């Protein structure tokens, strides 16, 4: 049986859901197909005993009034249904450096950020202001980031744009400690020395400085809001059915087949899953050029992560609005956690809906190379060997010992611990190598590590974290870009700007 639909979206993570929501609002008939029984991908939450943990996403940006994602949520009319907490005042980030046994407090907002840095480095005012101006100059080139109507054939003018992030920071910041501190957000986006492009660093830095927000009561609530929106606008969400085959005819996708054997047909197909995975599902790969196939197959993935989710005992550990970062040394920001040596991680206490003085849970995210788990890559959840669990326990023990440097009585506050490794992330989302941010954006192969939304197949488009920028803001903006490829250039952006 073939069911005729207008747009089929493959994958129901943030990218698939937001694309579906925007297209539904514009009157298109959308069917979203997700392999898991619950949508959300990296935005899912799960229950363990009496606790709710979020799978991946914790820190979100661009949700302050007037910011790009806030405006898009307003456009969908979902702002009142979203439960978030904005960190508008006080400390937004704490950076602990074990080398000096010292914690840097970073205040919320652009001016708060500058004030905090000047407090610790009073002689560096020229450098901090030059660095902030350089960040703005880069992001000012990005129409999509600012929801500006994009001009066709506009080329990037800014010379810093294509520099490696570490060289870009060093160009403006001369104090060695301060220079490394400017890269603390590498922990969030797996920034790498000589590889990560300056524009990626600039986007994340500007977003963090403009203001951090967190979901209250779990990221799944946002997923439910998007799913309700899609359904109430005539869309269909099919859960628990993975796409297994993409059947082409000439230069078009004719239909797709799920692992349940069902066939779905539409005019346009949008894939939010890993492009290399999608490629393997094509019935006839020859519709893609050989160079495009080798491009997709050759691209490297960004780092993954090891997650320690902790249920805290009642009234034992204070709730903190800020995120915290641990660095062994100042330059740990630029080094991977390799061979079991943990030199950097991020932790926070996610808020519940009615948050009081004490935290309920604490989540620790440790960026980690896939190589650390590669020897178990053939195993599946629940069927891994004892040495894998021994390795996981060792990581937990190492990290808890480091946490005790900051909170000496930390272990006494723990009720229980649940962990996820890069293997867990891969198995849950289907993301190759459990990549935290999709493909590795590499300044040395700029063109080949940046995929366009359009593919060589005329009615197949891409979206999600592998295109442009990962994360809450990046994935949503890419959804907008994908929608405008279908609806017409600046179709939604122009409406947003008229409204504003
Ligand atoms: C540990 C970790 C921490 C992170 N922390 C943050 C953070 O604090 N802030 C932030 O902004 N970003 C964070 N990120 C990044 C962010 O979570 C991702 O960029 C984002 O969730 C990606 O969304 P997506 O829709 O592109 O992909 P995904 O969420 O991976 O969605 C893809 C969906 O496709 C489904 N799928 C896969 N194969 C198939 C198939 N064959 N058929 C049908 N469906 C399929 C998957 O099940 C999944 O639901 C983090 C990532 C990780 C791993």
User: Would you give per-residue pLDDT tens digits along the chain (500 residues)?
Assistant: 434 459 999 999 999 999 999 999 999 999 999 999 999 999 999 999 989 999 999 999 999 999 999 999 999 999 999 999 999 999 999 999 999 999 999 999 999 999 999 999 999 999 999 999 999 999 999 999 999 998 755 566 788 988 999 999 999 999 999 999 999 999 988 889 999 999 999 999 999 999 999 999 999 999 999 999 999 999 999 999 999 999 999 999 999 999 999 999 999 999 999 998 999 999 998 888 888 888 888 888 999 999 999 999 999 999 999 999 999 999 999 988 888 789 999 999 999 999 999 999 999 999 999 999 999 999 988 889 999 999 999 999 999 999 999 999 999 999 999 999 999 999 988 889 999 998 898 999 877 777 899 998 999 999 999 998 899 999 999 999 999 999 999 999 999 998 55
* Nearest-angstrom CA–CA distance, 4 and 162: 44
- Ligand 1, atom 22: closest residue by C-alpha: 465
Mutate which of 31, 42, 366 for ligand 1? The one with the most ligand atoms within 8 Å of its CB, which is 42
Q: Which of 279, 471, 478, 479 to mutate to test the pocket of ligand 1 (most atoms within 8 A of CB)?
A: 471
Q: Is the CB of 436 under 6 A from ligand 1?
A: yes
Q: How far is ligand 1, taken at its centre, from the CA of residue 14, in Å?
A: 7
Which atom from ligand 1 is nearest to the alpha carbon of 435?
53
Helix pair angle (68-76, 471-487), 10° resolution: 60
Q: Please, what CATH class does the domain formed by 2-43+217-299+451-499 belong to?
A: alpha beta
Residue 271, SS3?
Answer: strand
Q: What is the pLDDT of residue 498?
A: 86
Global pTM?
0.96
> Mutation test of ligand 1: which of 57, 236, 246, 468 has the most ligand atoms closer than 8 Å to its C-beta?
57
Task: Name the residue with the closest Cα to ligand 1, atom 2.
Answer: 56
Q: CB neighbours of 123 closer than 8 A, spacing ≥ 6?
A: none
Q: Which pLDDT belongs to residue 2?
A: 38
Nearest to 252 by CA among 272, 294, 282, 297: 282
- The rounded distance, in Å, linking the Cα atoms of 342 and 437 is 20
272 Cβ closer than 6 Å to some ligand 1 atom: yes
Half-sphere exposure of 478 (CA within 13 A, CB side): 29
Element at 6 (helix H, strand E): strand 2-10
305 lines ligand 1 (CB under 6 A): yes
Residue 221 has, within 13 A of its CA and on its CB side, a CA count of: 18
Residue 81, Cβ neighbours under 10 Å: how many?
15
Question: In the Cβ-directed half-sphere of 228, how many Cα atoms lie within 13 Å?
Answer: 11
Determine the distance separating the centroid of ligand 1 and the alpha carbon of 173, expressed in angstroms: 34
273 in ligand 1 pocket by Cβ < 6 Å?
yes
Which two structure tokens, joined as six digits, stand for 128?
């901090």
Q: Judge whether 2-43+217-299+451-499 and 89-210+301-432 match in fold.
A: no
Residue 429 CA to ligand 1 center (angstroms) comes to 6
Determine which residue's CA is closest to atom 34 belonging to ligand 1.
11
Q: Assign a CATH topology to domain 89-210+301-432.
A: Polyamine Oxidase; Chain A, domain 2 (3.90.660)
Domain boundaries, the chain: 2-43+217-299+451-499, 89-210+301-432
Q: Whose CA is nearest to atom 1 of ligand 1?
A: 56
């Amino acid at each position: 049986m073939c069911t005729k639909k207008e747009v089929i979206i493959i994958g129901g993570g943030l990218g698939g859901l937001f694309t579906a929501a925007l297209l539904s609002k514009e009157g298109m008939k959308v069917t979203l197909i997700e392999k898991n029984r619950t949508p959300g991908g990296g935005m899912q939450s799960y229950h363990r005993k009496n606790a709710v943990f979020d799978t991946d996403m914790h820190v979100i940006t661009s949700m302050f009034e007037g910011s790009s994602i806030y405006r898009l949520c307003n456009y969908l009319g979902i702002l009142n249904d979203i439960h978030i907490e904005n960190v508008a005042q006080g400390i937004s980030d704490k950076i602990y450096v074990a080398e000096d046994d010292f914690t840097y407090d970073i205040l919320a907002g652009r001016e708060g950020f500058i004030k905090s840095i000047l407090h610790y480095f009073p002689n560096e005012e020229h450098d901090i202001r030059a660095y902030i101006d350089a960040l703005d100059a880069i992001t000012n080139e990005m129409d999509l980031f600012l929801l500006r109507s994009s001009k066709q054939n506009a080329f990037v003018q800014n010379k810093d744009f294509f520099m490696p992030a570490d060289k870009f920071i060093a160009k403006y910041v001369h104090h060695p400690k301060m220079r490394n501190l400017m890269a603390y957000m590498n922990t969030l986006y797996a920034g790498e020395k000589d590889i990560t492009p300056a524009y990626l660093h600039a986007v994340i830095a500007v977003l963090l400085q403009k203001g951090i927000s967190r979901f209250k009561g779990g990221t799944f609530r946002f997923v439910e809001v998007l799913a309700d929106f899609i359904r109430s606008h005539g869309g269909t969400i099919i859960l628990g059915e993975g796409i297994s085959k993409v059947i082409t005819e000439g230069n078009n996708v004719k239909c797709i087949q799920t692992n349940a054997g069902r066939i779905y047909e539409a005019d346009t197909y949008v894939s939010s899953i890993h492009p290399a995975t999608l490629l393997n599902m094509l019935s006839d790969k020859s519709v893609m050029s050989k160079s495009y196939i080798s491009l997709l197959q050759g691209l490297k993935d960004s780092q993954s992560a090891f997650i320690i989710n902790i249920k805290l005992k009642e009234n034992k550990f204070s709730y903190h609005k800020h995120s915290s970062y641990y660095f062994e040394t100042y330059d740990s920001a630029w080094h991977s956690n390799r061979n079991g040596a943990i030199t950097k991680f991020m932790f926070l206490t996610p808020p519940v809906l009615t948050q009081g003085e004490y935290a309920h849970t604490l989540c620790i995210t440790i960026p980690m190379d896939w190589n650390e788990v590669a020897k178990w890559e053939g195993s599946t959840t629940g069927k891994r060997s004892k040495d894998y669990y021994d390795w996981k326990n060792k990581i937990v023990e190492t990290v808890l010992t480091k946490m005790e440097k900051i909170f000496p009585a930390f272990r006494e506050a723990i009720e229980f611990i649940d962990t996820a490794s890069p293997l867990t992330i891969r198995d849950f989302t289907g993301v190759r190598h459990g990549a935290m941010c999709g493909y590795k954006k590499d300044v040395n192969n700029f063109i080949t590590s940046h995929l366009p939304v359009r593919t060589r197949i005329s009615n197949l488009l891409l979206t999600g974290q592998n295109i442009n920028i990962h994360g809450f803001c990046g994935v949503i903006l890419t959804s907008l870009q994908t929608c405008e490829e279908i609806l017409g250039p600046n179709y939604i952006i122009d409406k947003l700007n008229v409204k504003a």
